[in-house]
Structure 1
Amino acid sequence: MNRPQTVINYVNIAHFIDHYAMLIFAAAVIVMGPVFGMPYGDLLPYATPGFIAFGAGSLATGWLGDRWSRRHMMVIFFLGIGVSMIAVGLVQTPLQLGIALFVVGLFAAIYHPVGTAMMVSYSDKNLGREVGINGVWGNLGVASSALVTGAAAQLLGWRWAFILPGLMTIIVGLAFMHAVHHEVRTGHKTAGVTARVSRNAMWRVVAALMVTVIASSTTFNAITVALPKLFAERLTDITTSPATLGVITACVYVFGALTQYTIGGLIDRFSLRAVFFPLSIALTPLLYLAAESQNVALIVITIGIVMAMFGQVTVNDAMVGKYTADQWRARAYSVRYFVGFTAAGASVGLVAWLHEHGGFALTLRVFSALCLLMILGAALFPPEQRASAPAPQPAE
């Protein structure tokens, strides 16, 4: 039998790797443009197929996780994403770059439906705490991607920014194969739902989740992709060094990590609605203020944006974990991430188009308006009642 904490630790590391791998290009593209003879706005859309695969692939991977083996799927994740990151570092043409990034997105699609479901099934009654900690690891992956990629691109060249993490991921995958074995968790104390609403109100949970996921995921992806370039344009009075910009970006994301841990604890103490609503109203005004901000003011406002974005991600994941049973939880997460990441995939091309036609002033205003949907989602979400926990049963 697997030790729950061992499984959770590896799943948390996988979350770090997943977000790290998906955002290397967002930081490296700034220095890759001259190599391929293409401006930022023309090269950035080559990431779009990868982000679409990131979302669309989650349907199949979630189904395989429930029907076959979550452990085996995670082995494929570690080894596949490691090899594909190395492949990006070896490309010679823009077409090869687009194909390699697509493959990264395809393997990255495994983590969220499969890894999150696996983490929830091994968690104790403090689901919010575990979701929050898991979110911190993902956020640290986002932060480290900007930091390490900026430093590696400046010191070693952009190719090594992909190759080195690819090699490290393969090593972690081999360790996971040795430490974690296939195990069915159906029937454990975490397998049942931990919250409920009246049958007539369940449509409001689904509608609130879908509306919020579309708005928050699209904005999340747009901001994380655009942030290195936004800082490069707007922090010129502070620095123009890619490595220093990476440090600033990473520090901003640390606040998001702390927020996810805090939100996870609040979810265990209060209803989802009580946590959901304050977060939903924060992004619209913050994004609007950021549209015209620069230097220190922009950094401060961006910290608020990142805190609200990552806090909302924790709420979204906890919502699925609380309302679904273990035997189909991976499929529930796959639908959640399919909707979210497919919408987010479109944000890459949208950022490039908006930036070309109106710079980041137009880009941030558009996403500010989109975040009004999150307020609608919070208004739709019904009051929550706690469900009684099922009696523990042995694993199959």
Structure 2
Amino acid sequence: MKAGSAQLTLLFSCLGHAYMHLFTAFYFVIALTLEVEWSMPNHELIKLWALGSLLVGIAALPAGWLGDRWSTPGMMTVYFIGLGLSGILCGLVSTTSALLLGLTSIGLFSAIYHPVGIAWLVRSVKTKRGMALAVNGIFGSLGVASAGLVAGLLIDAISWRAAFILPGVICLITGLALFAALRLGWIAEGDGEQENDPPPSRNDMVRVYAILLLTMAVMGLMFHATQASLPKVFDLRLRDLAGEGAFGIGLLVATVYTVGGLMQLAGGWLADRYSLKLIYLGAFAFQIPVMALLASAGATPLIALAILTVLLSSAALPAENMLLARYTPQRHRSLAYGVKFVLAFAIANPAILLASWVEGRTGEFAWLYGLMAAAAAAAALVTLFLPNKRSQPSMAVPAE
């Protein structure tokens, strides 16, 4: 792949990651305004996103299949244009049924990014894969962080409709720019990555996949439950600090995900140098007390703990992606990433419904964070059984 093409691939992959997380996060802040304008409780509004969040997961596998057999940059073009139009649609609706349709469309097109965009990036990376994935991951974290900030600012300055429409227009323009770059020949499909490591043993692959299925499910459960609940937690516990309106809450959420998400860069640096197992295990082990304390914390400790839980999740992601790549043959890697993101985002549906149920029953989220602490403990326990390092074959395999 030519240097210019690789740089553009990195640019569009990173923008795609930011947009994906922005579009799948900003509704939780918008819903706070719709509570008043549509006279609906927050937990009922959150349910409108449940089907879309489910599609983000289950549609990832066919999206990855199409990317492998048709074109990864072509699928990315479909992603940008479809997601942008879906956002615009959500900003034009006036009924819950129409909003449900628009949010479901956001979920469907969002499903394209991870199996296609990450595989597209990995294919172009020859060295320091952990750092490249970390940079890409930071854009995803910034997408989550900017979701609250952008939505809150646009709601207070214009309306909740603008919080959907303006990001949709920007995403649509990005898709048209990618389409133009493809037509001009500035971006190529990629020539594949170099495989310098020996293939994993079948026993190691089975063991790692079995463990990662559980840990990735827990990681997704914690991420989506926290993302769904945090704006309302801040609204309930920090309203004096946040002030009136949606912007203050959005700013707090943005701060949490920006500061916490930047830790992914350190996670990538560590993953290129140290044991992936220890990095992954440590992230889950530290989540146990953090989630337990989140259940009842208020004021400044609440903000610090929210940053810590995002920080730990972000730092673990490069190690998780590298473990998946290390124990997957290259010819099946897109499929493996597709399975990962089917699991990671399919779990969003029960996570959101769980957050909605807990709030509806208790008016708060203490039970939710207690359950997340227990889930983190289970994940830390099974992570102990990951291989310490790749088993080496008896005969050396020369690098290509």
What TM-score comes out, normalization by structure 1 length?
0.94
1:285-364 alignment to 2 at 5 Å?
Answer: 285-358=289-362, 359-364=364-369
Match of 1:235 in 2: 238
Q: What secondary structure does 1:23 align onto? A: coil
- Please report how far the alpha carbon of residue 184 of structure 1 lies from its aligned counterpart in structure 2 after TM superposition: 4.4
The 3 A distance-change label for structure 1 pair 171 and 326 is farther
Tell me the residue number matched to 2:129: 127
Contact (CA 8 Å) 1:59, 1:334: kept in 2 or not? yes
Question: Quick one: distance in 2 between partners of 1:362 and 1:333?
Answer: 32
Q: Which amino acid aligns with 1:367?
A: M
User: Which SS does the other structure have where 1:4 is aligned?
Assistant: helix
Distance 1:10 1:389 in 2: 34
* Contact 2:217/2:347, CA 8 A, preserved across alignment: yes
SS of the aligned residue for 1:383 comes to coil
State the Cα distance separating 1:380 from its structure 2 match: 2.0
Which residue identity is paired with 1:37? Answer: S
1:367 and 2:372 matched: yes
CA shift at 1:296, angstroms? 0.7
Provide the aligned C-alpha RMSD in A.
1.8
Residue matched to 2:91: 89
CA offsets 1:23-55 (integer angstroms, 9 cap, x no match): 111111000122222110111111000000000
Cα distance, 1:89–1:386 mapped onto 2, change above 3 Å: farther
Structure 2 residue identity aligned to 1:296 = T
TM-score, normalization by structure 2: 0.93
Of 245, 250, 253, the residue aligned with 2:249 is 245
Give the fraction of aligned pairs with identical amino acids, expressed as a percent: 31
Q: Distance in 2 between matches of 1:385 and 1:276?
A: 15
Q: How many angstroms does 1:191 deviate by?
A: 4.4
CA distance in 1: counterparts of 2:318 and 2:228, whole angstroms: 20
* SS of equivalent to 2:195: coil
In structure 2, the residue matched to 1:66 is 68
Structure 1 residue 247: deviation in Å? Answer: 1.4
Once residues 382 and 347 of structure 2 are traced to their aligned partners in structure 1, the CA distance between those partners, rounded to angstroms, is 16
Q: Name the structure 2 match of 1:281.
A: 285
Q: What amino acid is the match of 1:350?
A: L
Alpha-carbon distance in 1 for matches of 2:97, 2:131: 43
Q: Distance in 1 between matches of 2:65 and 2:365?
A: 39
Superposed, 1:134-145 pairs within 5 Å as: 134-145=136-147
Tell me which of 12, 17, 28 is aligned to 1:10: 12
Query: 1:132, 1:261 within 8 Å by CA — same for their partners in 2?
Result: yes
State whether structure 2 residue 386 is matched by structure 1 residue 381.
Answer: yes
Residue segments in structure 2 that go unaligned for 5+ positions in a row? none
Change (3 A) 1:184 1:161: closer
Residue 275 of structure 1 aligns with an amino acid whose one-letter code is I
Paired residues of 1:355 and 1:362 also in contact (CA < 8 A)? no
Aligned-pair CA distance for 1:157:
0.7
- Cα distance 1:288–1:389, how it changes in 2: closer, same or farther (>3 A)? farther
Distance 1:10 1:234 in 2: 38
Deviation at 1:201, TM superposition (A): 2.4
Does the 8 Å contact 2:271/2:318 carry over to 1? no
Deviation, structure 1 residue 59: 0.9
How far apart, CA to CA, are the structure 2 residues paired with 1:74 and 1:94? Answer: 29
Alpha-carbon distance in 2 for matches of 1:271, 1:74: 33
Q: Which amino acid letter does the alignment assign opposite residue 140 of structure 2?
A: G
Which range is displaced more, 302-311 or 140-149? 302-311
Do residues 269 (structure 1) and 273 (structure 2) align?
yes
Query: Aligned residues, how many?
Result: 389
8 Å contact kept, 1:260–1:314: yes
Preserved contact between residue 199 and residue 329 of structure 2 (Cα < 8 Å): no
**78, 81, 86: which one pairs with 1:79?**
81
Deviation at 1:123, TM superposition (A): 1.1
Equivalent position of 1:36 in the other structure: 38
Q: Report the more deviating stretch, 245-254 or 260-269.
A: 245-254
Shift of 1:65: 0.9
Q: How do residues 181-196 of structure 1 correspond to structure 2 at under 5 angstroms? A: 183-185=188-190, 188=192, 190-192=193-195, 194=197
Of 193-202 and 43-52, more deviation after overlay is shown by: 193-202
The runs of 5 or more residues in structure 1 that have no matched partner are 392-396
- 1:320 Cα deviation (Å)? 2.2
Distance 1:351 1:293 in 2: 17
